Amino acid sequence: MIFYMADPMDLLQDIKTPEKRTINLPSGGLLNLEILDNQQARVAAIVSTDPMDYMNEDLQPGSILNINYVPK
């Protein structure tokens, strides 16, 4: 009997990781984003010592943000 199995290395090569960016918050914290396309990004994490950054509903992990990026 012959068993055919997928090679794990072939499966790992097809995985694409999203582009990541870090944005500085006005409070001095950082906002880690995963870029979805040219105009949207998903919040991956907040790194801040200011508790108000965590209370902002727009910056919660998993939220989708619109990006207005104009290249110079």
**pLDDT digits over 22-51, tens only?**
999 999 999 999 998 888 999 999 999 999
Determine whether 65 is exposed, middle or buried from the number of CB atoms within 10 Å of its CB (0-12, 13-18, 19+): middle
Query: Domain span at residue 62?
Result: 24-72
Over the range 20-30, which residues count as b (16 or more CB within 10 Å of their CB) and which as e? Answer: eeeeebeeebe
Does the residue 7 lie in any domain?
no
Q: Which amino acid is at 4?
A: Y
| pLDDT band for position 72 (cuts 50, 70, 90) | very low
State the total domains in the chain. 1
Does the residue 9 lie in any domain?
no
Does the residue 67 lie in any domain?
yes
